[in-house]
Structure 1
Amino acid sequence: MRALIAGAGRLGAQIAQVLAAAHHDVSLIDINPDRIAELSGSIAVPMRVGDACAPDFLEAAGAHGADLIIAATGRDDDNLVISLLAKRQFAVPRVAARVNNGENSWLFTSHWGVDVAVSTATPLVSLIEEATGATDTVALLRLSKAGVEVIETVITARSRTAGAALSDLVLPSGTVIATVVRDGQPAAPEPDMRLRPGDEVLLVSHRATEQDVQSAFQ
């Protein structure tokens, strides 16, 4: 799958990291050159600086060949324009858009080219602090075509894996660690990395359930 993500904020960066870990062809774009420079050493995906609301730039970034475009900027008006361009001008099969302001959610429909509207409270490689419930593990993104599920778990001071090296973890069958988000930044999962309270671990699995991951980490 070829995916183009517009918006290299925390959400966009996490989505890019996860999709790349699942062996998809991912590109990340952002209008802010400082943000792209900041991420250049931590995310191994192609990145470009430019305005995704501009059709010429979106085409140059690969919109014509994309299977999925995700509009994940911090502005709802930009996300709607990107979605409309993706669907109407580039005929992208799947378009997802982030809804920053819940009052605007009624706009994020097929009329604007949006197939999937993602609010800031919806788990799609979401910010874990927004997740609710009794468990610290939530399913983030199901890649139905690939049969892959992405699951996130947050390490707390009570987690039995706090302080453990990644190489010492016993993961459920068919599961790999995609990234560890520490202090808001995704990091490559090196074997000698030790988990700390506050770390957000994103895993890609063909088989494991949320409960399996909960048991492995918590």
Structure 2
Amino acid sequence: MKVLIAGAGRLGTQIAQVLSAARNDVTLVERDEDRFTELEGMPYVNLVAGDACEPALLERGGALTCDLVVAVTGRDEDNLVISLLAKRRFGVGRVAARVNDAENAWLFDLQWGVDVAVPAATPLISLIEEATGATDTVALLRLSKAGVEVIETAITQESRAAGHMLGEITLPAGTVVATVVRDGHPTVPSPEVRLLPGDELLLVSHEATEQEIHASFQ
């Protein structure tokens, strides 16, 4: 599946990491220069700098051949413009948009090109299920025929992994950490990263169950 994501904030970055880990072709668009610089070198994701509200930028990002556009900027007006352009100008088959302000939810419909309107508080996994149309998930996100599963877990004060370095955690066979998100920013999951309460981890596994992976951290 070819996906264009507009907005490389915490949510947009997480979506990009999950979908790219599941072997989708992902392009992430961000107009903030500092944020774009932070994300340079992000593995398996095509980064495009610029304003996704501009048709030329969307075309450069591959909107003409996209299966899915996800508009998750922090501005509802931008998400609506991106959705409308994706649907009406580029004929994208499925468009999902984040609703930041609940009072604007009534605008996010097919008239604005939105197939799936997602409230800001929707959990990551549920958002991706809605956006992609996946229906076979049970707390897991299964997005590829290759058997890749992406699992999300969070570190809390009670987690036995809190305070330990990532390299000290014994992971189930066939499992790797895709990223550690801290304070809204993805970090390189090196063995020296010390896990802290509030960290969110995205793991990719070919073999382990959700319960086995959670047991490694909780």
TM-score (norm 1): 0.80
Shift of residue 157 of structure 1? 2.7
Partner of residue 178, structure 1: 178
Shift of residue 211 of structure 1? 3.9
What is the CA deviation profile of residues 102-159 of structure 1, one whole-angstrom value per residue up to 9, with x for unaligned ones?
1111222222222222211101258xxxxxxxxxxx9485537776553322112321
Distance 1:206 1:99 in 2: 33
Q: Secondary structure at the match of 1:202?
A: strand
Specify whether residues 195 and 210 from structure 1 end up closer, same or farther in structure 2 by C-alpha distance, changes over 3 A only: same
Tell me the amino acid that sits aligned with residue 17 of structure 1. Q
What is the CA deviation profile of residues 77-117 of structure 1, one whole-angstrom value per residue up to 9, with x for unaligned ones?
11111112112221222211111011111222222222222
Tell me the amino acid that sits aligned with residue 61 of structure 2. A
Specify whether residues 96 and 144 from structure 1 end up closer, same or farther in structure 2 by C-alpha distance, changes over 3 A only: farther
Which ranges of structure 2 fall in alignment gaps of 5 or more residues? 127-137
Say what the alpha-carbon RMSD is for the aligned residues.
2.7
Shift of residue 173 of structure 1? 5.6
Q: Secondary structure at the match of 2:26?
A: strand
Q: Secondary structure at the match of 1:186?
A: strand
**1:162 aligns to 2:192 (yes or no):** no
Which ranges of structure 1 fall in alignment gaps of 5 or more residues? 127-137
Partner of residue 68, structure 2: 68
Alignment: residue pair count: 207
What does 1:55-134 align with in structure 2 at a 5 Å threshold? 55-124=55-124
Shift of residue 209 of structure 1? 5.3
**1:214 aligns to 2:214 (yes or no):** yes
Distance 2:14 2:172 in 1: 22
Specify whether residues 33 and 113 from structure 1 end up closer, same or farther in structure 2 by C-alpha distance, changes over 3 A only: same
Check the 8 A contact 1:118/1:124 in 2, yes or no: no
Partner of residue 129, structure 1: none
Q: Secondary structure at the match of 2:124?
A: coil
